[in-house]
Amino acid sequence: MDELDTELVRLLQTDARLSNRELARRLGIAPSTCLERVRALTRRGVIRGYHADIDLAALNRGVQALVSLQVRPLSRAVIDRIQGDVARMPEVVSVFVVAGGDDLVLHVAVPDLDGLHAFLLERLSRRPEIAGFRTSVMFQHVHNTVLDRLE
């Protein structure tokens, strides 16, 4: 990653809808050079895709929470199975496998507190491999959409 690649990634993180021509203009390079740089970054796995930033509240999912899970028996197979199962649940935004006292952390978004309560009781507490969970309701969420290259 040189300075040009870093700036290209920064621009795409800021607005992934920029055309190749506009990217090239902002970078001061030829469109063909820009296109090849984007393709190379994609091949190398730096750019994994392009996504829309969605307002969860606008989708009637205004209550967000972090749910920390403890899993038993603790094994890779159980963690992988739970991770896959919860990732497919419509309430779950993200799944993190973590170290420490908890095994997984879920970022969930639901319409209201009753929806969160139902998710916890009807979806999670019925799973025998989930030994326990803790829930933290999020009041605010700030997401850094532009990551600078770390040296």
Under a CB-based contact definition with an 8 Å cutoff, are residues 71 and 104 in contact? Answer: yes
Q: What's the predicted TM-score (pTM) here?
A: 0.80
SS3 category, 110: strand
Reported confidence tier of residue 151, pLDDT bands at 50, 70, 90: low
To the nearest 10°, report the CA torsion of 46, 51, 55, 56.
Answer: -90
pLDDT tier for residue 149 given thresholds of 50, 70 and 90: low
Q: For residue range 90-144, what is the model confidence (pLDDT) as tens digits?
A: 999 999 999 999 999 999 999 999 999 999 999 999 999 999 999 999 999 888 7
User: Is pLDDT above 70 for 150?
Assistant: no
- Residue 70: its pLDDT value, please? 96
Token digits of residue 131: 């030994």
pLDDT in the model for residue 144: 78
Chain position carrying tokens 């496998």 = 97
Amino acid at site 30: A
pLDDT of residue 142: 85
Q: Which domains does the chain have, with CATH numbers?
A: 3-43 (1.10.10.10), 57-138 (3.30.70.920)
Q: Is the peptide bond before 128 cis (omega within 30 degrees of 0)?
A: no
